[in-house]
Structures are given as C-alpha cells and as structure tokens.
C-alpha cells in the first residue's frame, strides 16, 4: 500500500471547526481511504498519528500562543512593563493572562472564528486522537510489543496531554472520548475530575503499550515513549490530588481539593509508581552540567538517554518561539540572530538572591543583563542598563542555537519532561505517602546543582519537607512553564506572589533576608583571551553577591570599574522597585483568576451549552 501524504491524512481524517458555525462538518477518512485501509496498516496509521502532532506547530497553537504564554506570572517569573496607570485596552492577550485580568474577548488569535484559535486547535488534536484510537482499536489489532499497540499508546497519551492542558487553562471543559458525530457536536462541560479519571486510565493503558526509548519508533525525545507517558501520568495525578479553582455558584470561585483522602492516596501512589518505573528503566540520568541541558536543547539534540525525556515536536528553525519569547534578550548580531529576541518574560529580582551562591543553576537560569550591540565599538556586550529590574531568563540563548534565528520562529523544541522532574515528583509523592525513598532522589537533584557526586551524601543535602521541595522546584524549573501549575496544585499561587512582593520591598529597602545585599554594583568589560575573535566583550560585575561591599573605585582605582546604584536604582525620578511596580504584578486575585474564560466567540456558537461560571469573563 502506498504511503499517504500527511496533509491528505489531515484533510481526510478530519475536516471540522469546533464550535465555529452552526453547520459544522464532520467527515470520516472515507473521503480518501476507508478506516479499515488506514488503521490496519502501520505505515498509514503512522501518518494518521503524525496528523495529531501537526496541530502543535499550527498558528495560534502551541507554537506561538498556548505553551509560551500560559505559564506566567508567578513568584519567580513575571511579565515586565506594567505599572500603575497602564491603559488596559492597549495590552496584548498574554499580558491579560499574566496579569490575571483575562476576559472573553481578548485578541491575538484567541477569539478567531473557525479553527484558528487556541481552544479549537487543542480540540482538533483531541478529535484526531479520537479517530486514531477508535480506528486502531477496531482494525489495527493493537497489542503490547507490536507497532499498532505503540501507535494506540501514542494517541492515548496525546489525547491525555491535550485534555490536561485544557484543564490547566480552562478548568471544566467539554469532553469527547469518541469521534464526533452530528448528534454529539454540542455538549456541555464535563467535570474535570471525570476527565482526570479517564485520562489517568488512558495513560495506564498507554504505558503498557508504548515502546521504551531508543527503539525505532522512539529514537528521538520528540517522540512519545513509555516513560514520557509515565511522566505525564505522574504529573496529572499530582494535579488531580491537589488544589484547584472551582466555581462557587455562578458568580465566584474557590480554591479547594476535591479528591477524597482515599483518592489522594491512590493518586499519589500511582504517581510514585509511574516515577519508579522511569527510574528503574535506567534509561535516563541527571546531566552533570545544568547548563548543558539547555545548550543541547538549543542545539536540537533529541537523542534519548540523557536528562530530557520528552519534548514538543517543532521543526527546527521553522516553528516555535522558545528562544524568541523566553530567551536571554539579545540585539541582532547578524550571526546568531538577525532579529531582536527574548525578554518577554523576566525573573523576579529578589529570586536571584534566593539562590545559594554555590548553586550552579543560578547563573544559567537568571542573569542581570541583556546582550546589546555597542554602536560605537561595533561589538556585542552584556549590558546592565536596565538595573535591578533587568534580571532575565538565561536558559535559552541565541548563541547556543544550532540554526541562526532569522524571524519570530526559532524551532527550539520545549522540554515537557526532564529526569529531574521525575525524581522530584517521586520525592513529593513519597513524602505524602510517608515513605523514606524520596529523600535520596530529592537530594540527588540538589547534589547535581552544587556540583557534587549525585549518588553520595553531600554537605548540601537537606531534609525532604514540603517547604524545601517547593523551593527546590522553583530553583530547578524557573522559566520552564512549570511553576504556576505547581503553585496552583499546592493552593498557594496568590500567597507565593504576595511573598514575592514582600521580598522585592525587602530587597529595595535592604531589610530581612536581603539586608546584606549590596546597594551598589561595579562593572567593567574585557575581551577574553580565550576567545579573542568572538567580537564580544565580557561583563564582570562586583556587588551582586551578598557581602561584596568594597568600593571598587577606591580599592581598585585603575581597574576600569563603573559604579551603579542597584537596589535603590531609579527610573527617571522613581525607584525601579517602586510600589507601582510591585503592586501591579497582578490586577485581580490570582487564586480566583487562575483559569481563562471561554472566549465569547466559542460561547456564542455553543448552542447555549457553554458559559463562564467563575464570576468573570463573560
């Protein structure tokens, strides 16, 4: 049988625009080939599976809306540029979301009609998964150990992944677990606990069917493997067992745990055993260099067996805005990037000082500069002009990217699951269940962070407590679109951001935990002798570390140092860490505005079955 073109499969498997018009069209694959022809053959089934993944790179999907914009603002990252007096009508959709001020009519693609909006993009992925699941079950003879069984596991995993994202972003949503028919197009919301139970069962089935990594169908980290499904299963169980925002009547919301204590125990047990399976497989390891994780990501290294277990599958250089949105800000240099990149989200200035000075994650995760072109010297240099509010996410850098960045898409595939996350999820589950194994896995992550052998006790080992684990996950995953969902399931989104506000005040005023942070820094540039041909100057800063209180212009008068007022730095006549900056990290209570409203355009064509019931957004 000839191999079918992926775009024919996309058109043939499904032609629909969910909730886009009153005469939505659902057609089967019989317009090209019959279902039995598609799903009784591994080659054609592979094309149908590829159609599921195609959604990820589409406009107004994960490529440029969903994954990049939903994970902030938290106690570690924030959307910069908004203070008191901001004209809300002028801000973009991701700013509405970051400021917890979303409404049901935001632009930037979210309210587009037809299929071209984030809500419908996810449901397209779900429907393509449903069609593949139904077709493989009926015609494919799927079993553990054969390709058709693996493809069924992939479709089940991706459907669970899509539904989990819908729950994270919208809460209760309509749920289809069979291909749509004319009779099932319009349905009301399904309670998310029902969805959780279903996709947890799906992932348990999937893990029995999927191949392990490094097989012909799992030889890249952008492909779904057994351990990718296990990791997703653990993450979903932790969310289902934790706090979430639920409607309180039709005009308010509350943060509650809906799982019974017995169900919580079941969920944490499933999560721990899923993580145990990954650990026992022995296929993954903590990278000895924290920086190398993200360098290899930027280099498009998708070989399984390191720390990265699963990545979103973008096409290198043509889809996805990982570095463009979240990367270290950098002016065009004509070599690594011909466009300005990065800086759309930044790191809380106080968070830099929360790291231990010996923690190798700090200077990889966050830096107090951007890379600018010196118009006089014609060289690229690290610049601290933005002052105390210029701490940037630095895990992704243009100079690390394999293919030069020439537009808004850089093609760097986001990491969904790292081995460090597996170890910490095991530790968290084990802590809840009263076990003793999690302590070592928790400290393995810390040992790597401090450059210690991971399999031996170290001076940096600390007790496994919930507070310590919560802080460790902040240090490990800052910038990776994980923190917000951790805080939500712990029931501490607002309290954590409020604490960050207090930390910013203490940093500014030199009090509390930040009393020994120097109020002035000194900086200078030099050309490194190890790489004199790079054309870049390297910035050296004194005064960033606690206790660095020398006046360098006095103690080293010929060293070329320039002083800069830091913690009390000014923007015009106002402090950079002004009350206007600090108190406008959110516009509404984050706890009761965690979720997005369903866009008005979706509600208007739902046949009266959908509405927003959290007291905002209609």
Are 231 and 421 contacting, i.e. CB atoms less than 8 angstroms apart?
yes
Of the two residues 506 and 96, the one the predictor is more confident about is 506
| CB half-sphere exposure, 108, CA atoms < 13 A | 16
Instruction: Map residue 252 onto helix, strand or coil.
Output: strand
Question: What is the rounded distance in angstroms from the CA atom of residue 128 to the CA atom of residue 120?
Answer: 12
pLDDT in tens, 305-356: 999 999 998 765 568 889 998 999 999 999 999 999 998 889 999 999 999 9
The count of other CB atoms within 10 Å of the CB of residue 24 is 16
Question: What is the rounded distance in angstroms from the CA atom of residue 126 to the CA atom of residue 224?
Answer: 16
The count of other CB atoms within 10 Å of the CB of residue 537 is 18
The C-alpha angle with vertex 536 and arms to 530 and 538, in degrees rounded to 5, equals 70
pLDDT in tens, 522-543: 999 988 765 444 567 899 999 9
pTM score above 0.85: yes
Under the banding of pLDDT at 50, 70 and 90, the label for residue 88 is very low
Residue 308 is assigned to a structural domain of this protein? no
Residue 337 is assigned to a structural domain of this protein? no
Are 74 and 132 contacting, i.e. CB atoms less than 8 angstroms apart?
no
pLDDT in tens, 287-302: 999 999 999 999 999 9
Q: What is the pLDDT of residue 89?
A: 47
Q: Is the pLDDT of residue 469 over 80?
A: yes
Q: Out of 68-77, 205-214, 494-503, 554-563, which region has the weakest mean confidence (pLDDT)?
A: 68-77
Q: What order do you get walking across the sheet with 366-367 strand by strand?
A: 77-78, 346-347, 392-393, 366-367
Instruction: Map residue 467 onto helix, strand or coil.
Output: helix
- In this prediction, residues 394-418 reach a mean pLDDT of 94
- Report residue 378 as tokens: 């014609």
Q: What is the pLDDT of residue 107?
A: 79
Measured in whole angstroms, how far is the alpha carbon of residue 15 from the centre of its chain? 30
Under the banding of pLDDT at 50, 70 and 90, the label for residue 93 is low
pLDDT in tens, 103-124: 888 877 888 888 889 999 999 9
**How do 415-418 and 308-311 pair as beta strands?**
antiparallel
Place of tokens 């399904």: 190
Q: Is the pLDDT of residue 367 over 90?
A: yes
Q: Please, which residues bridge with residue 81 across strands? A: none
Residue 47 is assigned to a structural domain of this protein? no
Under the banding of pLDDT at 50, 70 and 90, the label for residue 562 is very high
Please state, for a pLDDT cut of 70, what percent of the chain lies above it.
90
pLDDT in tens, 243-266: 999 998 778 899 999 999 999 999
- Report residue 398 as tokens: 């243009």
Q: What is the pLDDT of residue 83?
A: 52
Element at 318 (helix H, strand E): none
Question: What is the rounded distance in angstroms from the CA atom of residue 314 to the CA atom of residue 291?
Answer: 22
How does 101-125 read in b/e, with b if 16+ C-beta sit within 10 Å?
Answer: bbbbebebbbbbeebebbbbbbbbb
- Report residue 303 as tokens: 């070989």
Residue-range definition of the domain harbouring residue 549: 518-566
- In this prediction, residues 511-518 reach a mean pLDDT of 97
Of the two residues 28 and 74, the one the predictor is more confident about is 74
Q: What is the pLDDT of residue 189?
A: 97
Residue 205 main-chain phi, psi, to 5 deg = -65, -40
DSSP secondary structure letters along 146-185: SHHHHHHHHHHHHHHHHHHHHHHHHSSB---SS---TTTS
Instruction: Name the domain count of the chain.
Output: 1
Omega into 14 within 30° of 0, i.e. cis? no
Q: Please, which residues bridge with residue 418 across strands? A: 308
**How do 366-367 and 392-393 pair as beta strands?**
antiparallel
- Report residue 572 as tokens: 């015009």
Q: What is the pLDDT of residue 82?
A: 59
Are 480 and 70 contacting, i.e. CB atoms less than 8 angstroms apart?
no
Q: What is the pLDDT of residue 92?
A: 60
Q: What is the pLDDT of residue 57?
A: 87
Question: What is the rounded distance in angstroms from the CA atom of residue 196 to the CA atom of residue 306?
Answer: 30
Pick from 348, 331, 347: nearest CA to 339: 331
Q: Out of 59-63, 106-110, 428-432, 479-483, which region has the weakest mean confidence (pLDDT)?
A: 106-110
Residue 277 is assigned to a structural domain of this protein? no
- Report residue 140 as tokens: 């494919």
| CB half-sphere exposure, 255, CA atoms < 13 A | 19
Q: Please, which residues bridge with residue 301 across strands? A: none
Are 14 and 109 contacting, i.e. CB atoms less than 8 angstroms apart?
no
Place of tokens 């394999």: 402
- Report residue 614 as tokens: 């959290």
Of the two residues 175 and 31, the one the predictor is more confident about is 175
- Report residue 300 as tokens: 């498009």
Residue 553 is assigned to a structural domain of this protein? yes
- Report residue 412 as tokens: 């760097």
The count of other CB atoms within 10 Å of the CB of residue 31 is 12
Please state, for a pLDDT cut of 90, what percent of the chain lies above it.
76
Q: Is the pLDDT of residue 427 over 80?
A: yes
Q: Is the pLDDT of residue 81 over 90?
A: no
pLDDT in tens, 591-602: 999 998 999 989
Residue 548 is assigned to a structural domain of this protein? yes
Residue 373 is assigned to a structural domain of this protein? no
Element at 426 (helix H, strand E): helix 419-433
Question: What is the rounded distance in angstroms from the CA atom of residue 212 to the CA atom of residue 206?
Answer: 12
Question: What is the rounded distance in angstroms from the CA atom of residue 610 to the CA atom of residue 300?
Answer: 41
The count of other CB atoms within 10 Å of the CB of residue 521 is 24
Q: What is the pLDDT of residue 80?
A: 80
Distance in Å from the first CA to the final CA of the chain: 51
Q: Please give the DSSP secondary-structure letter assigned to residue 593.
A: S
Residue 546 is assigned to a structural domain of this protein? yes
pLDDT in tens, 432-442: 999 999 999 99
Are 384 and 521 contacting, i.e. CB atoms less than 8 angstroms apart?
yes
């Amino acid at each position: 049988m000839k191999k079918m073109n992926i775009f024919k499969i996309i058109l043939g498997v499904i032609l629909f625009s969910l909730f886009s018009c009153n005469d939505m069209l659902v057609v089967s694959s019989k317009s090209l080939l019959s279902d039995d022809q598609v799903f009784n053959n591994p080659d054609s089934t592979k094309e149908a599976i590829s159609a599921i993944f195609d959604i990820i790179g589409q406009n107004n999907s994960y490529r440029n809306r969903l994954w990049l914009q939903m994970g902030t603002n938290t106690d570690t990252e924030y959307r910069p540029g908004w203070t008191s007096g901001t004209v809300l009508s002028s801000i973009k959709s991701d700013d509405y979301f970051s400021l917890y001020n979303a409404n049901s009519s935001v632009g930037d693609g979210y309210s587009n009609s037809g299929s071209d909006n984030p809500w419908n993009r996810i449901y397209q992925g779900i429907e393509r998964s449903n069609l593949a699941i139904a077709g493989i079950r009926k015609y494919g003879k799927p079993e553990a150990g054969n390709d058709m069984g693996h493809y069924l596991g992939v479709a089940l995993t991706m459907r669970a992944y899509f539904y989990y994202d819908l729950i994270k972003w919208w809460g209760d949503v309509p749920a289809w677990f069979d291909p749509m028919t004319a009779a099932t197009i319009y349905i009301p919301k399904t309670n998310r606990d029902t969805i959780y139970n279903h996709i947890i069962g799906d992932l348990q089935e999937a893990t029995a069917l999927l191949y392990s990594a490094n097989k012909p169908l799992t030889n890249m980290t952008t492909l779904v493997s057994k351990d990718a499904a296990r990791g997703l299963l653990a993450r979903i169980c932790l969310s289902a067992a934790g706090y979430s925002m639920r409607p309180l009547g039709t005009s308010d919301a509350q943060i509650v745990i809906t799982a019974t204590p017995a169900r919580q125990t079941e969920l944490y047990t499933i999560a721990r055993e899923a993580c145990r399976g990954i650990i026992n497989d022995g296929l993954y390891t903590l990278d000895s260099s924290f920086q190398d994780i993200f360098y290899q990501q930027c280099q498009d290294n998708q070989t399984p067996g390191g720390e990265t277990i699963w990545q979103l599958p973008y096409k290198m250089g043509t889809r996805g805005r990982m570095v463009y949105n979240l990367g270290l800000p950098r002016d065009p240099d004509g070599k690594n990037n011909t466009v300005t990149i990065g800086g759309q989200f930044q790191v809380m200035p106080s968070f830099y000082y929360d790291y231990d000075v010996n923690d190798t994650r700090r200077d990889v995760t966050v830096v107090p500069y951007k890379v600018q072109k010196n118009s006089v010297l014609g060289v690229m240099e690290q610049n601290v002009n933005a002052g105390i509010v210029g701490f940037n996410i630095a895990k992704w850098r243009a100079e690390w990217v394999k293919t030069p960045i020439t537009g808004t898409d850089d093609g760097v595939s986001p990491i969904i699951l790292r081995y460090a996350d597996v170890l910490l999820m095991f530790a968290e589950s084990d802590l809840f269940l009263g076990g003793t194994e999690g302590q070592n896995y928790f400290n393995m992550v810390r040992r790597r962070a401090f450059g210690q052998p991971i399999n031996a006790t170290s001076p940096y080992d600390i007790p496994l407590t919930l507070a310590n684990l919560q802080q460790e996950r902040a240090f490990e995953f800052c910038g990776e679109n994980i923190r917000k969902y951790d805080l939500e399931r712990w029931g501490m989104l607002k309290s954590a951001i409020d604490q960050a506000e207090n930390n910013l005040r203490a940093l500014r005023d030199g009090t509390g935990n930040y009393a020994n942070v120097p109020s002035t820094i000194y900086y200078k540039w030099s050309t490194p002798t190890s790489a004199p041909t790079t054309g870049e100057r390297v910035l050296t800063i004194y005064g960033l570390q606690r206790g660095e209180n020398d006046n360098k212009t006095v103690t080293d008068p010929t060293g070329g140092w320039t002083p800069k007022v830091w913690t009390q730095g000014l923007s015009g006549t106002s402090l950079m860490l002004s009350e206007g900056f600090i108190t406008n990290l959110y516009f509404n209570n984050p706890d009761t505005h965690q979720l997005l409203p369903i866009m008005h355009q979706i509600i208007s064509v739902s046949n009266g079955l959908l509405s927003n019931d959290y007291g905002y957004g209609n």
